[in-house]
Structure 1
Amino acid sequence: MAYAALLSALQALRKATQQDHLYNLSTIKHQITILDEKLCFLQDFLENDPPAGGIATDSLEGRIREAAYQAEDIVDFHVQNPLVPVTVRRSIYQDFQNVVDEVVSIVQQVVVIKESRKEIKALQLSDHTYGDAPIGKTAMVGFDDELMEIKNQLCGGSTNVKVVSLVGMAGIGKTTLATNVFCDPCVEYHFHVRAWTAVTQDHRRSNILRGLLHSMAENSSPGSEQVDELVYKSLKGRRYLVVLDDMWSTEAWDDVKMIFPDDHNGSRIIVTTRLVDVAVYANSSAPFHQMRFLNEEQSWELLRGKVFGEERRCPRELEGTGRWIARNCRGLPLSIIVVAGLLKVDRRKHQWENIGRDVSLAVTASRDEEEHLPTEILLLSYNHLPHHLKPCFLSMGGFPEDYQIPVFQLIAMWVAEGFLRPIRSKSLEQVAEAYLEDLVKRSLVLVTMNRSNGKPRFCSIHDLLRDLCIKRGRFERFLHPMNGIQESMKQKRRLWFSKCVEWFHFRNACSSPARSVFCCSYNDEVLIGFSHLKILHILEVNFEYFPIHILQFLHLKFLAFASGFIRYSTLPPSLPKLENLQSLIVGSSVKFSSHEYRLVVPLPIWEMPQLRHLVFLNITLSPASFLSPVLENLQTLSRVRNFSFTREAIERIPNLKRLKGMYTGRSSLYQLGNLIYLHKLETLNLCFVPTAAVRFGVPLGVKKLTLRGCEIPWEDVTAGIGCLPNLQVLKLKCLSGVGEEWEAVEGGFPVLRFLLMERLDLRRWVAEATHFPRLERLVIRHCSRLESVPCGIGEIATLQMMEVDHCTPSAADSATEILEEQLDLGNDALQVRVLPLISNQF
């Protein structure tokens, strides 16, 4: 992965400029300047003028990658070893010069490539094979509702030309659904003329239009100046259906949209695409159709039909295995169809079981019905990615199958890896969020759970895409799965150890060049030789104590114990030895008594200048003083205990965005009123044990506020919290509000979108629609005294969901009445769930 290597090398070079013992050498300073300039040129080339695919491209990117790795290694060695003998340090000049010579040679090659492209474009042929229109329906399971929905959009509604977009990942059935719609007798009867063409990634306007002519049986061979006119005349005055299959860019739509006449006769255009942005661009006035995965029963039905034909009779001894295989296809029709072809050839049970154990391997090692490798179909999506997204996508191959990836951890890892190009006025985390959003829009990443503010909380990738990440990552020398069978760690920068790896195969490993390690099992003896390690992501591993030997990895930037936990959850006070650490993230659900918490030694985070995110179950921080340095980078402090927010502390964390704190005893000791001076704070979560009346400050910029046990009178909730101008999410838990009546007022909660009320002693709630004008979701749980939900809540125009869980029967009845009233008024967008008293959803 040349692009990721360039970013990492540039970071290392710029770090070298901060090292006096290295940068003060004038000859080295000159070489670093040259390298920085040339590597930036190559970065710009990959971003804005990337080479076409092929062996020559792979060779060029391989040269770029290796030269960047060499530059990074030289800097890392000399930065890490400032006290090496002078005779050794003198070699740095020659080392740098060798890299400079190689990079200059690469730049010369790139210049030649860029100049020769002008000639190549002039010689390119304009003709190619057109995508033929489908000749009939294809087998389709699980899309009956979608088929009817699309048919209704085509044959009804507005008389203006309308674009219907089908969006989803490769192999999910976009073309199959479009084909069945296109060939449906009712659709065929409704339209005077139908046309179909495949757009392809390297589209040309003339080829798209020639494809449409070809599918309409127009046998003429017009010149490029006539093809526009012929297509226009073929459609003019007639009700037409045009399918533009597999569109990859908004430019392709711009090239052809003016050719389609609008005679106000109900003509329609279907666009299939993997890219949300393309779908929205083609028709921003209507929602696109997001293709969904098949459920388990639909997957089995499709598999059974492909293996056993129309009769669908599966021998009883094979059905259990067949259903297991169908489930392992993860709802992707492409996987099911390819696997069915393998099962049909050999119907012995043990052979089916072998396929079921690794469906992804079976799919990618086989050919589908049209003799296209499924991997190549998916590879189109990867090849279409801009260079800055490729390392982010490939890094997701380091997570296990079906793994729910915490988005917060993923973003922090991308930041530490150096995959992100800084953008002015945006933090690196905001850049990473935009990258992830782009991958989601390209149908490569799935959002599996959202936060209460609508942002993604967990994401995942389909098994076939994960397999693509691993294979492509290995091919590009980006990510290397270590299987333990004669595996060498030489020249491998990112390693992935699975659960089943046999660590004894690596016991003799030493001086590994690895910078990043993903591991689903752990062996501290093997990792001792990883002196260059910067990223350590430990997945699904539990520890009794914090593994103290990790402190030997002095260059760590990112350390995460993702889905395991540390039983005796304390951080060593010597943690600041990791002075480069940016993120320490520990996922844990272990609970501790207050006695265990009192034993924790305070952590001196003020000695960790690079720290950005600290998420741990049990953090006691050393107090800040006027001598403590300012932590400019710190954005997240989660699960801190009894920390005193003195003015000195506030001044030393000026850019804090997320704070989660727990307090025991007298809260007045901790100066929580000073929280109002955290001007960058966006998320605040405060828990008080035991519950007590507490006073604290909330900054005006807070967007998400979670409170537990602070016993605020309801009138203060209205007058104080209700006036926060940016508050979008409010969670009131466990007596955070006290009193029998809460009377809201107009003008409060101006932008609140999510409200949770949980374990409150509230009896009477008085509110109207104008009191929560932007509310979208209301959740009420375990409010055992609440008499009713205010009827005015149902009149909030933006309200989409209301959930009443384990409340009084009268509260449940009032929620049901609100729903019925809204249905009578024609509002069928509101959903109401009453649990557990009423289990059905209206």
Structure 2
Amino acid sequence: MAETVVSFVSDHLATLLREEGSLLGGLRQEVQLIKDELGHMRAFLKVAEPKEDDDPRLQEWINQVREAAYDIEDVLDEFVLRFAGYRHHGFCGSLQRILKAIKSLRARHQVASAIQSIKSRIKNISEGRQRYQVEFGIDDRVTGSSTMNDSWRYSRDDALLVEEAKLVGIDQPKQHLISKLLEGHDHQLKVISVVAPERLDLAVAQGIEQFIESISTIDLKKIVKDFLQQAGRYAIVFDDVWDVEFWNEIKFALPESNYGNHVMLTTRKADVASASCIESQDYVYKMEPLSIEDSWTLFCNKIFKGNCPYHLMDVAKAVLDKCEGLPLAILAIGGLLASKDASRIDEWKMIQHSLGGELEGTGKLERVKRILSLSYNDLPSHLKPCLLYLSIYPEDYLISCRMLILLWIAERFVECREGMCIEDVALGYLSELISRSLIQVTDVFYEGLPYTCRIHDLMREVILIKSRKQNMVTITTGQPMTWPSEKVRRLVLHSSSNSSNIQYHQQRQFYSFEHLRSFITVSSTNPLLSKTFISEVLRSSKLLKVLELGGEKIEGTPNEIFNLLHLTYLSLYGTKVERVPRAIGKLQHLEYLNLGDTGVRELPVEILKLLKLRHLIVFHPVDPSDEDYGFHGFKGPSKLGGLLALQTLNTIDASSGSVIVKEIGKLTQLRVLYITQLRREDGKELCSSLVNLTSLRQLSVDSVGKGDDYGIIDLNHHQRSLSSSSSCSFLQSLRVLIMGGRLEKMPRWVAHLQNLVRLDFTWSGLRAEEDPLESLQHLPNLDEITFCGSYQGERLCFKAGGFLKLKQLYLRRMEGLRWMTVEEGACPNLQKLVLDRLPSLEDLPSGIQHLSHLQELGLYEMSSQLIEKVENQEEDSEDYRRMAHIPEIVIGFYADDREWRIRRLWGKKKETILA
């Protein structure tokens, strides 16, 4: 974390020297010296941070560096706030410069004193760096990946002593791996990689470390290769591999022979497994967590040597839930509980509610902490703050991946890379954390991109401990608490049903937030608490850069926001804000503005001053109770095309005419475009604009009107341009297409969207002779389709060889549809089929038995005849055999009390479960 902060501040200094050097005057030399010394510290930190847990003195030095870097950033931003950006011209401008210079003499003196103080601190810290370089033997010229300490190895050795009879949940994985090792008799070397979030209990060679360290790598490879060649046939296990380059370094030491040799490699990192298995004979096996049953068996065997007492059942299961099937966690927590009196349920509940404290202490759960910390310590420096940042979320919170990525960017955790959009760089960060099993994906978006995620409870506890030690985040629920003695730089407010505004305000009235950089609320909080506290924070946080107030019950935009001139991220999503003041133009560093699901319908012309704005989100639903009716957008100024940095525009109201539609064509960096209230006569202009949007990935077009009264969308203009790959690159870049409104005919260019993954047509009302499937069936990457009120015909036929990659299909609100056919060979990979409010459809789709990969069939508000056929089938009937392969059928309906109900039919016997 310290290395990341130093890196950002060093870059900030470079920018200041380059762009505002003249304003620095005599301070320029001091600033340059600080920048140079930070560069030396950064190189040292890259190697020192992984070793900080070994020595409290090194840890304290790293803390000093981090805090000094933060303080430097404060001084720089205060300088910019007072002096930079003021440019005056002419006679009046000269007078203003003189007056300002007189008024700012005291301020300049204060800044100069602060920089001199920082310079002195940096000098002292630098002396400490030189001392630790000698004492710890740290060479800051080494820039490779972080090295792990050896203190954790005692837990590896213990695994070798576990009797196989006491191991739980290994039978199936063991048999699977053995079969993979034994299958085939060819002569090619076979590699099997096993990916698991924690170590497997596999033996490794011991006792030769001194010999290995005494010879060169090339000599060791020769010895190993000669030995294996003499041995003839061999099987080798490389256990707990971390380095993605490991396989490339050792593969030439493994000779090919005529005996069918095997190599098994275990790792916690998916990219290591993939890099080791690059040939046709190789295989990656992903270990799954223990099942609920196996977890319970292991837990009870560890604590009770048998069955759990009845009075401890509830608390035992609550504790076990935190382990989520990780054997090491189960054993460690089980060992802690085994030392407690089984008759004292209060002791068990204390453990349940204080797992975080147990992890931080020196008890038996220290083993869990150290094992889970391995994955953190192995992270490259740029990923560590990204992982620690997840401490802002409550336990079991479903995290929006997009929001997380944008917050990382706003916090300056993400490094710019030449030729790459910074959002794609941040997505790469997230993907790496997922591949290391540190973040768990809970839902995916198009192309398998992570949509929501979470972290394991125990991993969260480790993250919280490290976050607190580094003073990265301060979390409050509004309850009385002990605040950190260090400066609060990131403040997170969680919801609490017991929040007391009076207690909280009295406790905090003398506390200053002058060093605060981020203020984030998670979930809706007490309205009185929010209003009072938010106002207090914003008044004293002039250096704030990140402000996330999503879901807060505020009715107007707090005026204090417009004094936050360093603000880069502002979210008022889901608040009751209805207007944006003209003062928004003061926030010229703003890059992200989210006014989604608010009452804002228009933005002032001052929005055009925000030249750094990359994401602009302003919308609210037409009908909050029914998403099928789309969203209202905002009316923007006529020169909106001047916001050249925009990548997201969601949702622009086009009802003012073709001028705004033409302006969209100037926003050549757009990746996401949502446009509503499009008039039929403006379709031609929109087509012309789309040709310029060569980076567009998501496009949503909504016409005027609502539901059956939707206006017509006419996007059949410029067919030659839109169908030419050379003149219209957006046809290649587009991944998501959403259209709301009537289509007289399917736009012909849709058939050229070779990389389209998701397609939504809502209320398009295509006539029977305009088969919507005809032009879509051969799109090679189409993964998900939603048709809602999109077709007036009586029959839909999915033809053989069509929709080869389709996995999800939603058919809704098509009243005339009576028959649906799936030919053999159509939709071969379909996993989810939802039929929703199709009143004329009285039977299951003909050929549904051909959908061999179908995992879920949803039937929502369907005809009583269809539901009766599905629920009342005899096992030997033809209709039953047609759907017997579907693991889950979900029936949704409104009961007599108008409450939504769900019935689930599970398994081949189709047992009914109410949900």
Secondary structure class of the residue paired with 2:491: strand
Q: Does 1:732 align with 2:740?
A: no
Shift of 1:800: 5.1
Asked if structure 2 preserves the Cα contact closer than 8 Å seen for 1:723 and 1:748, the reply is no
Q: Does 1:300 align with 2:296?
A: yes
Aligned to 2:863: none
Match of 1:381 among 353, 375, 388: 375
Check 1:796–1:508 CA distance in 2 against 1; reply closer, same or farther (3 A cut).
same
Q: 404-413 or 542-551: which moved more?
A: 542-551
Aligned to 2:882: none
Shift of 1:246: 1.4
Q: Distance in 1 between matches of 2:150 and 2:358?
A: 36
Q: Does 1:338 align with 2:368?
A: no
Aligned to 1:752: 782
Q: Does 1:633 align with 2:662?
A: no
Q: Unmatched 5+ residue regions in structure 2?
A: 84-99, 621-631, 723-729, 856-884, 893-903, 909-915
Shift of 1:516: 1.6
Q: Unmatched 5+ residue regions in structure 1?
A: 180-194, 211-221, 591-595, 824-829
Q: Does 1:681 align with 2:696?
A: yes
Check 1:559–1:793 CA distance in 2 against 1; reply closer, same or farther (3 A cut).
farther
Check 1:792–1:682 CA distance in 2 against 1; reply closer, same or farther (3 A cut).
same
Aligned to 1:217: none
Secondary structure class of the residue paired with 1:323: helix
Q: Distance in 2 between matches of 1:19 and 1:822?
A: 59
Asked if structure 2 preserves the Cα contact closer than 8 Å seen for 1:778 and 1:802, the reply is yes
| One-letter identity of the residue aligned with 2:698 | T
| One-letter identity of the residue aligned with 2:575 | I
Deviations 1:207-237 (A, max 9, x none): 5999xxxxxxxxxxx9996896478647855
Q: Does 1:485 align with 2:481?
A: yes
Aligned to 2:195: 167
Matches within 5 A, 1:127-166: 134-135=160-161, 136-137=163-164, 139-157=166-184, 159=186, 160-166=188-194
Aligned to 2:265: 271
Asked if structure 1 preserves the Cα contact closer than 8 Å seen for 2:269 and 2:436, the reply is yes
Q: Distance in 2 between matches of 1:360 and 1:785?
A: 58
Shift of 1:46: 4.3
Shift of 1:582: 1.6
Aligned to 1:4: 4
Q: Does 1:403 align with 2:433?
A: no
Q: Distance in 2 between matches of 1:391 and 1:753?
A: 34
Q: 605-614 or 141-150: which moved more?
A: 141-150
Deviations 1:740-772 (A, max 9, x none): 541525995344343333343343345545654
Check 1:561–1:811 CA distance in 2 against 1; reply closer, same or farther (3 A cut).
farther
TM-score (norm 1): 0.81
Q: Does 1:281 align with 2:275?
A: yes
Q: Does 1:417 align with 2:428?
A: no
Asked if structure 1 preserves the Cα contact closer than 8 Å seen for 2:322 and 2:458, the reply is no
Shift of 1:19: 6.5
Q: Does 1:819 align with 2:851?
A: yes
Q: 415-424 or 534-543: which moved more?
A: 534-543
Aligned to 2:518: 516
Aligned to 1:183: none
Shift of 1:449: 0.9
Q: Distance in 2 between matches of 1:474 and 1:634?
A: 36
Secondary structure class of the residue paired with 1:24: helix
Aligned to 1:709: 740
| One-letter identity of the residue aligned with 1:276 | A
Shift of 1:384: 1.0
Check 1:541–1:753 CA distance in 2 against 1; reply closer, same or farther (3 A cut).
same
Check 1:198–1:377 CA distance in 2 against 1; reply closer, same or farther (3 A cut).
farther
Check 1:225–1:607 CA distance in 2 against 1; reply closer, same or farther (3 A cut).
closer
Q: Does 1:531 align with 2:542?
A: yes
Matches within 5 A, 1:532-547: 532-538=543-549, 541-547=552-558
Q: Distance in 2 between matches of 1:231 and 1:533?
A: 60
| One-letter identity of the residue aligned with 1:687 | D
Q: 768-777 or 446-455: which moved more?
A: 768-777
Secondary structure class of the residue paired with 2:764: coil
Shift of 1:820: 5.7
Q: Does 1:653 align with 2:672?
A: no
Check 1:822–1:250 CA distance in 2 against 1; reply closer, same or farther (3 A cut).
closer
Match of 1:617 among 603, 616, 619: 619
Aligned to 1:607: 609
Secondary structure class of the residue paired with 2:846: helix
Higher relative CO (Cα under 8 Å, sequence separation at least 6) belongs to: 1
Q: Distance in 1 between matches of 2:684 and 2:590?
A: 27
Check 1:620–1:685 CA distance in 2 against 1; reply closer, same or farther (3 A cut).
closer
Check 1:597–1:127 CA distance in 2 against 1; reply closer, same or farther (3 A cut).
closer
Asked if structure 1 preserves the Cα contact closer than 8 Å seen for 2:545 and 2:569, the reply is yes
Asked if structure 1 preserves the Cα contact closer than 8 Å seen for 2:675 and 2:700, the reply is yes
Shift of 1:429: 1.0
Check 1:428–1:649 CA distance in 2 against 1; reply closer, same or farther (3 A cut).
same
Asked if structure 2 preserves the Cα contact closer than 8 Å seen for 1:338 and 1:363, the reply is no
Q: Distance in 2 between matches of 1:773 and 1:665?
A: 35
Q: Distance in 1 between matches of 2:204 and 2:254?
A: 13
The number of residue pairs the alignment matches comes to 781
Q: Distance in 2 between matches of 1:367 and 1:3?
A: 31
Shift of 1:264: 4.7
Deviations 1:402-439 (A, max 9, x none): 11111111111111111122110012111111111111
Matches within 5 A, 1:302-321: 302-309=298-305, 312-321=306-315
Q: Distance in 2 between matches of 1:466 and 1:488?
A: 20
Check 1:820–1:64 CA distance in 2 against 1; reply closer, same or farther (3 A cut).
closer
Aligned to 1:214: none
Q: Distance in 2 between matches of 1:168 and 1:820?
A: 30
Aligned to 1:78: 79
Matches within 5 A, 1:683-832: 683-688=698-703, 689-690=705-706, 691-696=710-715, 699-714=730-745, 716-717=746-747, 719-735=748-764, 737-739=766-768, 741-742=770-771, 744=774, 749-761=779-791, 762-765=793-796, 768=799, 772=803, 775=806, 777-786=808-817, 791=822, 794-795=825-826, 799=829, 801-806=831-836, 812-819=844-851
Deviations 1:362-400 (A, max 9, x none): 4554644xx862111111111111111111111111111
Q: Distance in 2 between matches of 1:736 and 1:138?
A: 64
Aligned to 2:860: none
| One-letter identity of the residue aligned with 2:833 | E
Secondary structure class of the residue paired with 2:593: strand
Q: 242-251 or 291-300: which moved more?
A: 291-300
| One-letter identity of the residue aligned with 2:660 | T
Q: Distance in 2 between matches of 1:701 and 1:35?
A: 48
Asked if structure 1 preserves the Cα contact closer than 8 Å seen for 2:714 and 2:744, the reply is no
Check 1:651–1:226 CA distance in 2 against 1; reply closer, same or farther (3 A cut).
closer
Aligned to 2:96: none
Matches within 5 A, 1:334-373: 334-344=328-338, 345-347=340-342, 348-365=344-361, 367-368=363-364, 373=367
Check 1:776–1:666 CA distance in 2 against 1; reply closer, same or farther (3 A cut).
closer
TM-score (norm 2): 0.75
Aligned to 2:686: 672
Check 1:668–1:231 CA distance in 2 against 1; reply closer, same or farther (3 A cut).
closer
Asked if structure 1 preserves the Cα contact closer than 8 Å seen for 2:678 and 2:713, the reply is no
| One-letter identity of the residue aligned with 1:88 | A
